[in-house]
Every structure is written in C-alpha cells, then in structure tokens.
Amino acid sequence: MTAKELLQHQIDEANYQLGKVFEGVDASLDFKLTEQSMTPRETAVHLAECYIALAKDLVGEKHEWGSYVPNTTEWPGLWEELQASRSAAVAAVMAEGGDVLKGHAFIVGHDFYHVGQLCQVRLACEPGWDAYSIYNWG
C-alpha cells in the first residue's frame, strides 16, 4: 500500500464517520456541550471553511479566516456544502504534486478530532445514541 492509498483510505474512513455522526441530527444541531465549544451546525461551517482554506493553500492562495459564509445554515444544505468543499480539498491533496502531509493533518486528523467532539454532543443530547455506530466495520 502506498502513502497515497493509505491517505485515501483514511480520508474515506473519516468521511464515513462524519456522515454517521451527523446522521439524523435535529435539535442537537444547535446544542453546545460547553460555553466554549461549537454546536454541530457551527462545526459543519468550520469544517467547510477549513477544507476551502486547505484547497486555497495548496495552490498558493491565502485564505481570510472567518470569511466563509455558507449559502445556507439549514440541514441538509449545509451538509452538502461541507461535502462539496471537502471533495475539492481531497482532490487537491490527491492530485499530482498534492501535499499528502497537509491532507493528513487538515482532513484526516481534523475530521477525526471533530468526530469525537460531535459524538460527545450526540451522547449528551441523545442518551441512547450508539457512539459505536460511527465505525465502518464492514
């Protein structure tokens, strides 16, 4: 297995977990676990902006943090925007000459970090929610 194949596998697994942790969210979209934490809705916007910033960085552009405003903050439109910006960032990372180390840090590591936070929100909002449901055991 090459480094790019491993990275693609990790990118796919992280996306699977994001999809599962956001699956069926409702009122928890606006729930904050702590005063300093982000809601799932804010996390989705944050992730979309991070993917946009990474794609810009990979072509030598500078991103103005906080400048991203999604076309909608309603679900599932926000999820669709997150996925579109993620796909563009993944394509830039996986392209010839793409930076696999930045891809690993800014997509894989960052996605898994937020998946863990989102699991905590789901568990707080939905005591019966199965945190193990995020894993792709198949």
Q: For 47-69, how does the pLDDT look when each residue is reduced to its tens digit (9 = 90+)?
A: 999 999 999 999 999 999 999 99
Q: Is the pLDDT of residue 123 over 90?
A: yes
> Residue ranges of the domains in the chain?
39-62+70-138
Three-state helix/strand/coil letters over the chain: CCHHHHHHHHHHHHHHHHHHHHCCCCHHHHCCCCCCCCCHHHHHHHHHHHHHHHHHHHCCCCCCCCCCCCCCCCCCHHHHHHHHHHHHHHHHHHCCCCCHHHHHHHHHHHHHHHHHHHHHHHHHHCCCCCHHHHCCCC
Predicted confidence band of residue 27 (pLDDT cuts 50, 70, 90): confident
User: pLDDT over 70 for what percent of the chain?
Assistant: 99
Instruction: Tell me the pTM.
Output: 0.95
